[in-house]
Amino acid sequence: MSEVQTKKSDLKVRALSAVVMIAVAGTALWLGGRIWQLFVLGIVLVCLGEFLRLIWLAALRWPVRAVGAFLATLYVGFAGWSLADMRYSWIHDPNGWLGLVSVLTVVGIVIFTDVGAYFSGRAIGGPKIAPSISPSKTWAGLLGGMLAAAIWGVIALALFLKAHDTGIAREGFELAKIWAWAATSGAILAVIAQVGDFFESWLKRRAGVKDSSNLIPGHGGVFDRVDGLLPVIWVSTLLQIRPF
């Protein structure tokens, strides 16, 4: 099989896996309640297992492994709890959409960041951010990801205002500040998502592996898919960066 045929085959596998992941996650998100909580719990357990494996391979000393395991459990566990709690609030929302929009906001930030960084990085190229850690990441890609995430921040705010009457749709300067805050928050969270991506890339290099696992055909492991989402959830939860 030629290199071109191999790349096309890999692309088909990645696309099919992406469709399945979106379908499963979307169904769980829409159903909400215990279904969503169990789905998040499953993601947390698999991600944590992959994370601990990387720590085991990257660290040779037992004290480092123990501390790493504790921090990994805290890192993944808190993010999972926050994500499940965001969606669960939908059940108690009389308008029926608040928790759904909250989850879509943080997930959308990561998706828009990845897409914006991919296309701007390929189109513009230029200097690498940290070639020894992640050779494909460029400054142009980062800026493109920040712009795309800023756009999603504005879209998420619009969705929230449509779903929940908060009375913040004011006029003039105050309204401009609200939209500017949404865009700025999106751009900042894009940087946070990239930090999470770099952290996992660094850990994988230390562990001497390409992917966190081979669980998802064409995509690697669960940790590979949520490495940028985890810190975004942390920051948005602790600083209460929401679309409202």
Continuous segment of H or E residues that includes residue 32: none
Q: Which of 213, 220, 212, 204 is nearest to 10 (CA)?
A: 220
Sequence-distant (6+) residues with CB within 8 A of 208 are: 57
Are 100 and 226 in contact by the 8 Å Cβ rule? The answer is: no
pLDDT of residue 8: 52
Instruction: Kindly write down the DSSP assignment for every residue of 188-222, as one continuous string.
Output: HHHHHHHHHHHHHHHHHHHHT-SSS-SSBTTTB-H
Per-residue pLDDT of the chain (244 residues; tens, 9 = 90+): 444 444 455 667 878 888 899 899 999 988 888 898 999 999 999 999 999 999 999 998 999 999 999 999 999 999 999 998 876 554 455 445 667 788 889 999 999 999 999 899 889 988 999 888 888 899 999 999 999 999 999 998 888 777 665 555 455 556 678 889 899 999 999 999 999 999 999 999 999 999 999 998 878 899 999 999 999 999 998 876 544 4
Both tokens of residue 13?
Answer: 């596998």
Q: Which two tokens stand for residue 170?
A: 């004011």
pLDDT of residue 163: 63
DSSP state of 24: H
Q: What's 130-174 look like in SS3?
A: CCCCCCCCEHHHHHHHHHHHHHHHHHHHHHHHHHCCCCCCCCHHH
8-state DSSP, 128? B
| Residues 6+ positions from 30 with CB-CB distance below 8 Å | 100
SS3 call for 138:
strand
